[in-house]
Amino acid sequence: MKLESMYQDVILDHYKNPRGRGLREGDAEVHHVNPTCGDEITLRVRLDGDTIADVSYEGQGCSISQAGASVLNELLVGAKIADARRIQESFLELMQSKGRLEPDDEMEEILQDAVAFAGVSKYPARVKCALLSWMAWKDATAQAAGGEEATAQAAGGEEATAQAAGGEEATAQAAGGEEATARVGAVNHHNREIS
């Protein structure tokens, strides 16, 4: 049955036994929704320098969206921010492939359990479910990293101009977050049911 290509055992396992679920302390919190089906996620990111110390989350939704958050937690906690962004971009590429992308060894190495979502990319209505937590993470991380850099500048006791520069950078990062939200919006829009 073709359906098993979407509901891989790995996905069902993450759905039934979510990793790292629950909200813990974080540097930034975002709330993303999928307006079509009511999937929701509240996600926090805590950074330790350039390392992702924790990704905690609460949400409700379908198996694909909830398993997505669990896989994300497993993959990204402990990773360097730059590596995590590469994983996120790779996952996005896979999800936008409409089932035409056969993950190669390199992609499997990067995505690990997340490669199980390859089958989901064949179902346009479900891609946004898979991407929900990843877009939330991107948004939260941009906010957390922006805040961190601004704080670092301030803590460094630099002059007011440096602080202002840090603040500007934070704003730029926040704008990056907006971009992430806008992209989620675009994906949602593309797949919207008439409602």
Partner 1 sequence: MTQLTGLLDTEAIRKDFPALDRTVHDGRRLVYLDNAATSQKPRQVLDALTTYYERHNANVHRGVHVLAEEATALYEGARDRVATFINAPSRDEVIFTKNASESLNLVANMLGWADDPYRVDERTEIVITEMEHHSNIVPWQLLSQRTGATLRWFGLTDDGRLDLSRIEEVITERTKIVSFVLVSNILGTVNPVETIVRRAQEVGALVLIDASQAAPHQVLDVQALQADFVAFTGHKMCGPTGIGVLWGRQELLEDLPPFLGGGEMIETVSMSSSTYAPAPYKFEAGTPPIAQAVGLGAAIDYLSGIGMERIAAHEHAITAYALERLASVPDLRVIGPPDVRDRGAAISFTLGDIHPHDVGQVLDELGIAVRVGHHCARPVCLRYGVPATTRASFYLYSTPAEVDALVEGLEHVRDFFG
Nearer to partner 1 by Cβ, of 160 and 194: the residue is: 194
**Which residue in 47, 24, 48 sits closest to 144, CA to CA?**
47
Question: For residues 64 and 92, which CB has a smaller minimum distance to partner 1 in the complex?
Answer: 64
Instruction: Name the minimum Å distance from CB 66 to partner 1.
Output: 8
Comparing CA positions, the residue from 134, 143, 148, 133 lying closest to residue 173 is 143
Nearer Cβ to partner 1 (25/193): 193
Question: Would you say 39 and 95 are in contact if contact means Cβ atoms under 8 Å apart?
Answer: no
Q: How far is the CB of 19 from partner 1 (least distance, A)?
A: 18
Minimum Å distance from CB 70 to partner 1? 15
- The Cα–Cα gap between 57 and 68 comes to 11
CB of 3 to partner 1, least distance (A): 4
CB of 100 to partner 1, least distance (A): 19
Q: Which helix (H) or strand (E) holds 172?
A: helix 160-190
Residues near 49 by beta carbon (within 8 Å), at least 6 away in sequence: none
The residue among 42 and 63 lying less far from partner 1, judged by its C-beta, is 63
d(CA 28, CA 139): 9
Query: What residues line the site for partner 1 (CB under 8 A)?
Result: 1-3, 6-7, 12, 36-40, 60-64, 123, 126, 129, 193-195
Q: Helix or strand or coil: residue 169?
A: helix
Indicate the residue among 53 and 62 with the shorter CB distance to partner 1.
62
For residues 69 and 134, is the Cβ–Cβ distance under 8 A?
A: no
With respect to partner 1, which residue has the nearer C-beta, 6 or 81?
A: 6
Task: Return d(Cα 147, Cα 138) in angstroms, integer.
Answer: 14
The owner of tokens 């909200």 is 23
- Rounded least distance, CB 129 to partner 1, Å: 7
